[in-house]
Amino acid sequence: MTWRTSARKRDGGWMIDSLRVAKTANFHILKRQMSNAALDDLFRQVRASQPSASQNIFYHRRVQAGRARWSAISFLYDRSPSFLTEDAGIRERICGFILLIEYRDHLAILKSKLDLPAGFFTRYLGRVSAERVDRAVARQGAVFEKIRLRNMSVSKHVMRSKTFEADDLQNVVGPAGANRYVPQAYAVRSGTDHYSTTPSTGRIGQRSDRVDHLALVEYAKSVIDELVGGRAAPASFLRTLARAIDLASIGGTARPTSFAVDVAGFVDAIHVDREIRLVHEDSGRLTQLSKHEIDAALNELDRAFRVSGDGKRMDIFDGADSVGAIAINQARVALRDLQLPITAGIEVESTEYALGHDPNRISLRRYIDREDKFILLFDALSLAYIDGTLFRDEGFVRWWRSPVAPFAL
């Protein structure tokens, strides 16, 4: 009996029972239903992205769990240590996993050391709006303990972001401290439970011990139920900040006037979190940009561009020259083009892969678009499009309509 158990674990049948991770997932809308064949193809692509992949530690395809289905894969693969060059010939063994939970036309993704292909996101996944995340996480009665804010401005002369942390932020942060800022991430306490979220990415986590895959399925179901069924307004503290609104709600009433790339976000992703690297072709060989080259590229992007035009598609101008274009759709604003001399040939790779081996390597322009790393300002000064979400500062609207507003300027 002991031998059979061990053998079954080696085959991957029971190894999933050893999975233990925290309750943190990224939640997405499923734009189309997945099939067994689509799931098999997805996991084949995940394995193909790592040529040194071992046999699966576990592999499960769309297992029924009540009204939900879950799928999982885990395997070992080799990669170069981040502190050594490829020429050193040293490889380290990495173990990664992906757990997908389908429920009520949504998908929860939990993963470590493995990535899903970009084509899967484009074909199957849509974004959960920040407004729905707020209703699900920041419910009435929730106490805000920490929040990171982003300024609704593209000026270099304002504080771009700030973070507040306290036992109850409502007691220490007044409207003046939050004026012209949008929430990017926050942590709340609701009864004995603690939650954290980054609304722009759909990441929602609950503080907990590490739990098994069945508990993760139940957690994902409970969050998705709130995302789908939540109707009540979020906690009153959020009303002191700029609020997420539907992009379609301003159709024809406001037009973009300024465009800026989130350069500070690039600096963090490259130098602080080291999530991405910038690369380009040099004499037919893919090479990583040096710090000097990265600085030159970011300096080229670090400016406010003018936006002008009629209809859905609008041009981006650097002075009198058209250098790009945006398209204003019902659900999001897309960056259709951005041609600048230094950054035109630059591509972005994930540092999870060795140089030149990222199967999802894309141009810098497509990365800015995919990750929503840009800001749009409008002729209506209360509006700003940040992190792929349109925000309105209701406090600014009330101030602007007050009799003393013109004199306050």
Question: Digits of tens for pLDDT over the chain (409 positions)?
Answer: 333 333 344 445 579 999 999 999 999 999 999 999 999 999 999 999 988 999 999 999 999 999 999 999 999 999 888 788 778 889 999 999 999 999 999 999 999 999 999 899 999 999 999 989 999 999 889 999 999 999 998 888 788 889 999 999 988 887 666 678 899 999 999 999 999 999 999 999 999 999 999 999 999 999 999 999 988 888 888 888 888 888 888 877 899 999 999 999 999 999 999 999 999 998 889 999 999 999 999 999 999 999 999 889 999 999 999 999 999 998 899 999 999 999 999 999 998 888 888 888 999 999 999 999 999 999 998 999 999 999 998 765 544 444 444 433 3
Q: Among 61, 92, 127, where does a domain finish?
A: 127
Is 84 contained in some domain?
yes
Looking at the domain assignment, is residue 370 inside a domain? yes
Amino acid in the structure at residue 392: R
What span, in angstroms and rounded, lies between the C-alpha atoms of 381 and 371?
24
- Total domains, the chain: 3
Closest to 145 (Cα-Cα) out of 164, 120, 130:
164
pLDDT at residue 175, as a whole number: 63
Examine residue 281 and state whether it is found in any structural domain, yes or no: yes
Both 169 and 191 in a single domain?
yes
Q: Report the candidate in 63, 132, 64, 108 with the shortest Cα–Cα distance to residue 216.
A: 108
Which residues, 6+ apart, have CB-to-CB distance to 340 below 8 Å? 300, 301, 318, 323
| pLDDT, position 17 | 95
* pLDDT attached to residue 4: 35
pLDDT at 13: 56
Angle at 388 between CA 340 and CA 281, to 5 degrees: 35
Could you tell me if residue 22 is inside a domain?
Answer: yes
| Same-domain status, 300 and 366 | yes
Pair 375, 268 in one domain: yes
| HSE of 263, CA atoms in CB hemisphere, 13 A | 18
Residue 402 lies in a domain: no
* Domain identity same for 147 and 233: yes
Answer whether residue 9 is part of any domain.
yes
Residue 398 is assigned to a structural domain of this protein: no
The beta strand positions in 246-318, using DSSP E, are 256-261, 276-282, 285-288, 305-308, 313-318
Tell which of 100, 127, 154 closes a domain: 127
Residue 165: which H helix or E strand, with range?
A: strand 161-165
For the chain, the farthest-separated pair of C-alpha atoms sits apart, in whole angstroms, at 84
- Residue 400: inside a domain, yes or no? no
Contact 390, 247 (CB under 8 A): yes
Does 270 lie in the same domain as 333? yes
* Domain identity same for 208 and 325: no
Q: Is residue 335 within 8 Å of residue 365, measured between CB atoms? A: yes
Same-domain pairing of 112 and 7: yes
123, 135: one domain: no
Verify that 224 and 289 share a domain, yes or no: no
Nearest-angstrom CA–CA distance, 234 and 244: 11
Same domain, 82 and 153: no
Give the Cβ contact number of residue 191 at 10 Å. 8
Domain that holds residue 265: 255-379
pTM: 0.86
- Same domain as 102, residue 15: yes
Query: Which of 213, 241, 269 is at the close of a domain?
Result: 241
| 108 and 168 share one domain | no
Q: What are phi and psi of 76, to 5 degrees?
A: -100, 150
One DSSP character per residue, 200-218 reads TTTEEEEEEEEE-HHHHHH
